[in-house]
Amino acid sequence: MWDKIVKLIGDKDTFVITSHIKADGDAIGSEIGLYRFLKKLGKNVSIINSSPSSGIFNFLMDGVDFKVFDPERDMDTIKAADAAFILDLNDLERAGDVGRHIVEAGIPIIVIDHHQTGVTFGDIKVADKNACSTGQLIYDLIKACGGKIDREIAEALYVAIVTDTGMFNFPVTDPKAHIVAADLLSKGVKPFMVHRKLNLMHSWEYLWLTGISLFECRSAHGGRIAYTSITHDIFKRYKPLVEELILMPQYLMAIKDVEVGILFLEESPGRVHVELRATGAMDVGEIAKLLGGGGHTSAAGAVIEGRLDEIESIVINYAIACAGAVDFESITPRDRKKMFEKY
């Protein structure tokens, strides 16, 4: 599984690491864990992402060469690399400009991912849909290399695992997730401190807007779906961080019998950020994919152009259609399209 990547790491000296646009905790933790491991081997490494990451992950970045892509500054770095690691995505478009320029540079591409649908690009691919996170796969890669995991690597990989398992609450959480996490804790990771930095650092603006949104939440499909919307006028009045608001659906999931929680955030007029969370009874990753986004069975999202009320209707009906499918994974893409044509 790892032989080709282990050999490439041994043979090459200069690497670029990237992940998907609006990188989440799994993407950032995996990038930084791999970066620190390669640096310990004496390699030249740069992380270059197509968009900024949330400030909540800054505590992981001390001494890390982490950049948001600037063509004038970073093109030479990409062209000079011996190989590129693209982590936590199965669709090259989600890597943004960095992904496109890596392909144009003609350097070997190594893809490591755990999404449900297969990886369609790259020269070397490791795609394990049974892994709880890409961070777990980076842990396995380091072990395959015979590498040692220090506290800084462990902390980054722990963040990757706890964020993509929903603090070990999502259905992807399995015994191995806990076994790997236990080993990372043994390296000096402090779970409460990680929890505090990830979840207990919210702004007053976030809490005020959360209160308003929860008061206005609505239900659909007999109470199995709960959703709320934030218009641009309300959003600009309070101005919380967008990365804080994407956590809001978890509050909707606390309602009895709710299986899917959805946030509609009108970031700007005509541009709506949709965040979906699920208990596992519905595959919200499939809904996000149909909307041009991506994610996992229990957590996914998309950004859609259009009117807020029309987008609400489309997404809610998609969710209802998915809930009505006895075995959604067995339905062909063509038949899925027919299911949604009436919406």
Range of the domain at 52: 3-199
Are 29 and 157 contacting, i.e. CB atoms less than 8 angstroms apart?
A: yes
150 & 276 share domain: no
Residue at token pair 């990237």: 18
**For residue 338, is pLDDT > 70?**
no
51 & 135 share domain: yes
Find how far residue 114's CA is from the centre of its chain: 11
When divided into structural domains, the chain yields a total of: 2
With CA atoms as reference, report the closest residue to 282 among 261, 258, 302, 259.
Answer: 259
- The 10s digit of each residue's pLDDT in 200-246 is 888 899 899 999 999 999 999 999 999 999 999 999 998 877 777 77
- The 10s digit of each residue's pLDDT in 149-206 is 999 999 999 999 999 998 998 888 999 999 999 999 999 999 999 999 998 888 899 8
With CA atoms as reference, report the closest residue to 262 among 234, 233, 304.
Answer: 304
151 & 40 share domain: yes
Looking at 170-250, which runs of residues are DSSP E strands? 218-220, 225-230
Angle, nearest 10°, between helix axes 151-164 and 25-40?
Answer: 160
- pLDDT band of residue 268 (cuts 50, 70, 90) is very high
33 & 106 share domain: yes
85 & 176 share domain: yes
**pLDDT value, residue 309:** 95
28 & 156 share domain: yes
With CA atoms as reference, report the closest residue to 281 among 319, 254, 246, 248.
Answer: 319
